[in-house]
Amino acid sequence: MKKSVGVDLKPPGGECGSVSCAWHGTVSVRGRIFRGVVRHAKSKNTAMVEWGYHKYIPKYERYERRKTRVTAHNPDCIKAKEGDVVVIGECRPISKTKHFIILAKLAEGEFEIRGEDLAKNLEKPESEPKENDEKQHGKAGESEKE
């Protein structure tokens, strides 16, 4: 196990034995370092990491929100799951789309809440409007009978 991968991070606890691991393998970290949130970790040893930023639009004198998504190697010694905040580092190409390795897990299960996430949680259950519609139709039906 390496003592340092070129970034001031705490090494993971377990052993993975993977050749593509930054801590236990032969892959070196070079280039850029990012911090992001794991969005998908369904594939074996692969995670989709996402982070957001703001881009200034001069015409409207405002900022727009953008996000970057990259695939990263997820070693067995780290085992990052969806929602974990991780640090990733650029390395040599591991596969066609993987050019990053997860170096450390900063927090587990924490991710920023966005507007679309809040909108899903605030939607009312469909049972309430149906009850109101039945009451209104029931009253209308009674007046027709009279």
Chain segment 62-77, per-residue pLDDT in tens: 999 999 999 999 998 8
> In the predicted model, what is the mean pLDDT of residues 112-121?
44
Q: Which residues pair with 30 in a beta bridge?
A: none
The answer to whether the beta carbons of residues 7 and 87 sit under 8 Å apart is yes
Structural domain spans, the chain:
33-113
Residue 122 CB burial class (10 angstroms; 0-12, 13-18, ≥19) = exposed
* Residue 90: HSE in the Cβ half-sphere, 13 Å Cα cutoff: 5
* Both tokens assigned to 104: 């450390």
pLDDT over 90 percentage in the chain: 47
- Computed over every residue of the chain, the mean pLDDT equals 79
- pLDDT given at position 124: 42
> In the predicted model, what is the mean pLDDT of residues 38-67?
94
For domain 33-113, which architecture applies?
Beta Barrel (2.40)
Asked whether the predicted pLDDT for residue 136 surpasses 60, the reply is: no
Prediction pTM value: 0.70
CA distance 82 to 107: 11
Q: How confident is the model at residue 119 (pLDDT cuts 50, 70, 90)?
A: very low
pLDDT in tens, 75-99: 988 889 999 999 999 999 999 999 9
> In the predicted model, what is the mean pLDDT of residues 46-74?
95
> In the predicted model, what is the mean pLDDT of residues 8-29?
84
